[in-house]
Amino acid sequence: MRLMVLLKLAMRSVGRNVRRSILTSLAMVLGLALLVFSRSLAEGAYDEMIDSGVRMGSGHIAIQNPEYLASRKLEYRLEEKLVNLASEMTQDVLKESLVTWVPRLSVDGLASSTAAAVPVRIEGVDPDRERTFSNIESHLKDGRYLETGDRLHAYIGTELAQRLDVQVGSRFVLTAQTATGDVEGQLVRVAGIFQTGIPEVNQSLIHIPINTAREWLHTPGAASTLAFLLKGAELTNIGVETLQLKLENERKIRVLGWQESSPELAAAIRLDSTGNYIFHSILLAIIALAILNAVMISVLGRRREFGVLQAMGLTGVETGFVVFLEGLFLTFISGVAGISAGLLFTWGLFRDGLDFSIFMEDGMEFGGQIMEPIIIPRFSVEQILISTLVILSIGTISSLYPALRASKLDVAEAMKFEQ
């Protein structure tokens, strides 16, 4: 019964001084809206980073020889039998979660023309599968991407083309150590030239048809990596765990999540996320100060009112509780308004994405991966719930001190206080 009285007093008090409540809430609402916007953008950016990273890299899940990640050598490849076994089993396990998969046969080598010899990373790819997997074709500057039926074609970066002084249709030679241990050359013709936002990629990455690579390197049916693209990054861990169990008897197979196969990307996201948490903590601290300030001013300006409450028979603790509830109400109302404003603002203005291409036409580099310049904010229910809980906690903590002050009021002194 008494609790209801205290609740009523607190609610009425928040509603009484509308201007004060609105001004107080404004700081919290703006802070929270900014928090939601910033979190949504960060979530969207991480999605984009992971998506671009796994498409250009080894997918959400990669299957490799256990030694390959550290050495990147051709000798640590998956032979045809293991490629067939792993690809079939993985497709069977991942089922609905799987979007597509690609085999890649990679080797370090040398690209030579009459103009120069440049160290490169050669990736043998299945053109049709690769087109559905990686976004490298979207960076095409000249010519075309590889197609099924291509044999002696190569897809190279702008900077490599410049250094080799080649154009679409020009020929140059790739040289690498093959599976037999011999160094052998392969003549290829430029089918297309791409340009990403990363100079290192433009200078060193070459795609050639995987069948050409297998023949040249004497590795029939082999692959360095089987890369699997899932419907969402959140499916990675469960997929990896299931596959690891299924393939635990295969000693020459290792199942990796994208965090393991792209450690630079995972580290970059962690670092960026830490920065974001610091920024958000500062925002939350400002919001906490706004609540503390608002409730404190409200307490100091209403000492006589609290004195009257105690003269009427409320205890000091109950008076403090009224103040505490006021702080909570204010926080709750501002919290709902701020999160709604943040969601509406973000969804209303940026649901199609924030286009950063004006700053980086060819995409951005993040954690060693190419990132598309358009970031679509993502609302995470978990993040919104966490933000709400954090705000309520901050409201609770920020209201404690004013509540304590109100509960310790000297009633006789408070009654002298001029309102």
Partner 1 sequence: MKTAVRTTNLWKIYPQEPDPVEAVRDISIKIETGDFVAMAGPSGSGKTTMLNMIGGLTRPSQGQISIGDQEITEMTDKDLAQLRLEHIGFVFQSYNLLPVLTALENAEFTLLLSGIPKDERRKRVLELFNKIGLSGLEDRKPGKLSGGQQQRVAVARAVVANPALILADEPTANLDSKASADLLDVMERLNQDHGTTFLFSTHDPRVMERSRRLITLVDGQIESDKRQNHLSVSS
The reply to whether 19 sits near partner 1 by the rule CB under 8 A is no
What is the closest distance, in whole angstroms, from the C-beta atom of residue 338 to partner 1 in the complex? 25
13 touching partner 1, by CB under 8 A: yes
Which one of residues 18, 312, 358, 381 is an interface residue with partner 1 (CB under 8 A)? 312
How near is the Cβ of 326 to partner 1 at its closest, in Å? Answer: 11
Say whether residue 21 binds partner 1 (CB under 8 A): no
Rule CB under 8 A: choose which of 308, 336, 354, 392 binds partner 1. Answer: 308
d(CA 335, CA 384): 11
The Cα–Cα gap between 138 and 117 comes to 27
Per CB under 8 A, the list member of 96, 313, 351, 381 interacting with partner 1 is: 313
Instruction: Tell me: does residue 301 bind partner 1 (CB under 8 A).
Output: no
Q: Which of 69, 354, 374, 415 binds partner 1 (CB under 8 A)?
A: 415
Q: Which is nearer to partner 1, 105 or 322 (CB)?
A: 322
Give the contact letters, 374-413, x = binds to partner 1 (CB under 8 A), - = no.
------------------------------------xxx-
Q: How far is the CB of 334 from partner 1 (least distance, A)?
A: 20
CA angle, corner 326, sides to 324 and 331, nearest 5? 100
Contact between 5 and partner 1 per CB under 8 A: yes
SS (H, E, C) the chain: CHHHHHHHHHHHHHHHCHHHHHHHHHHHHHHHHHHHHHHHHHHHHHHHHHHHHHHHCCECEEEECCCHHHHCCCCCCECHHHHHHHHHHHHHHHHHHEEEEEEEEEEEEEEECCCCEEEEEEEEECHHHHHHHCCHHHHEEEECCCCCCCCCEEEEEHHHHHHHCCCCCCEEEEEEECCCCCEEEEEEEEEEEECCCCHHHHHHEEEEEHHHHHHHHCCCCCECEEEEEECCHHHHHHHHHHHHHHCCCCCCCEEEEHHHHCHHHHHHHHHHHHHHHHHHHHHHHHHHHHHHHHHHHHHHCCHHHHHHHHHHCCCHHHHHHHHHHHHHHHHHHHHHHHHHHHHHHHHHHHCCCEECCCCCCCCEEECCEEECCEECCCCCHHHHHHHHHHHHHHHHHHHHHHHHHHHCCCHHHHHHCCC
Cα 83 to Cα 73: distance, rounded to the nearest angstrom: 17
Interacting residue with partner 1 among 316, 336, 378, 384 (CB under 8 A): 316
Buried b / exposed e along 38-49 (16+ C-beta atoms within 10 A): bbbbbbbbbbbb
309 binds partner 1 (CB under 8 A): yes
Q: Provide the token pair at 70.
A: 């550290």
Stretch that binds partner 1, among 9-17, 36-44, 151-159, 230-238 (CB under 8 A): 9-17
Closest residue by Cα to residue 233 from 268, 203, 198, 257: 257
Q: Which stretch binds partner 1 (CB under 8 A): 55-63, 135-143, 302-310, 398-406?
A: 302-310
In the complex with partner 1, the residue whose CB is nearer, 22 or 311, is: 311
State in angstroms the smallest separation of the CB of 309 from partner 1.
7
> Rule CB under 8 A: is residue 310 a binding residue for partner 1?
yes
And the tokens for 360? 């980086």
Kindly tell me which of 318 and 365 has the beta carbon lying closer to partner 1. 318
Q: Out of 9, 62, 120, 193, name the contact with partner 1 by CB under 8 A.
A: 9
Q: Is 149 in the site for partner 1 (CB under 8 A)?
A: no
Q: Which is nearer to partner 1, 17 or 178 (CB)?
A: 17
Q: How far is the CB of 258 from partner 1 (least distance, A)?
A: 57
- Asked if residue 18 binds partner 1 (CB under 8 A), the reply is no
User: Which residue stretch of 4-12, 25-33, 327-335, 352-360 sits at the interface with partner 1 (rule: CB under 8 A)?
Assistant: 4-12
Q: Nearer to partner 1 by C-beta: 16 or 95?
A: 16
- Pick the binder of partner 1 from 16, 19, 251, 351 (CB under 8 A): 16
Selected from 73, 189, 246, 304, the binder of partner 1 by CB under 8 A is 304
Interface with partner 1 by CB under 8 A: which residues?
1-2, 5, 9, 12-13, 15-16, 304-305, 307-318, 410-412, 415, 419
